[in-house]
Structure 1
Amino acid sequence: MAVYLIADVKVTDEAWIPEYAANVHDIVHNHGGKYLSRSGNITTIEGEGLETTLVALMEFPSIDAVEAFVNDPAYAKYRKARQDGSISRFHIIDDTDLAGSIPYLPKG
């Protein structure tokens, strides 16, 4: 079952971004993941906007693959740099439909 990692990041110090952006994609890929978007073009169309600089959406084959990515020793220095230079929230969602009324999604 596919899962999606949503990274909601408010940058507080931009120093970490170039090295992170240049290297983390390969680490994500090593764990079967791929970026679907990594964008700062955030438009709130309902509700109160977030104080977010960027949102990244990544697809992974499983929760285990996401956990392997975030705990990969090769990612550790980039993770620490991001954490030190931002307020970040990472969320994992699966590909299910909680209500169970969308026929092409598994019932959640």
Structure 2
Amino acid sequence: MTVYLIADVKVTDDAWIPEYATKVHDIVAKHGGKYLSRSGNIETIEGEGLDTTLIALIQFPSREALDAFASDPEYAPFGKARQEGSVSRFHVIDDTDLAGAIPYLPAAG
């Protein structure tokens, strides 16, 4: 089942960004993932705005693939640098419809 990693990041020290931005997508791809977006163009259209610098949306073919990426020793130094230079919130969602009413999405089980 497809899953999506939503990374909501507030950068506090941008020293980690150049290397992370150029190398982490290759580690994501190694695990079958692909970036759907990695953007700082964030506009709140309803509710209170986030104190966020960027949001990345990454698609993985399965939760196991996402977990393999997150625990990959090659990713570890990049993750550590990001954690030290930002306030990050990572969320995982799958591709289901909780209400089961959208015909092209699997119903949540």
Q: Give me the TM-score of the superposition, normalised by structure 1.
A: 0.99
Which amino acid in 1 is paired with 2:51? Answer: E
Q: Which consecutive residues of structure 2, in runs of 5 or more, have no partner in the other structure?
A: none
Counterpart position of 1:97? 97
The alpha-carbon deviation at position 43 of structure 1 amounts to: 0.3
Q: Does 1:22 align with 2:25?
A: no
Q: Secondary structure at the match of 1:23?
A: helix
SS in 1 for 2:17: helix
User: Letter of the aligned partner of 1:67 in structure 2?
Assistant: D
What is the rounded CA distance, in whole Å, between the counterparts of 1:63 and 1:91 in structure 2?
Answer: 12
Ranges in structure 1 where 5+ consecutive residues have no aligned partner: none
Query: How far did 1:94 drift?
Result: 0.3
TM-score normalized with structure 2 length: 0.98
Report the aligned-residue RMSD: 0.4
Query: Following TM superposition, by how much is the alpha carbon of 1:82 offset from its aligned partner in structure 2, in angstroms?
Result: 0.1
Identity percentage over the alignment?
Answer: 75
Q: How many residues end up aligned between the 2 structures?
A: 108
Distance 1:70 1:9 in 2: 16
1:56 and 1:65 map into 2 onto residues whose CA distance is: 17
Structure 2 residue matching 1:41: 3-state secondary structure: coil
Cα distance, 1:68 vs structure 2: 0.5
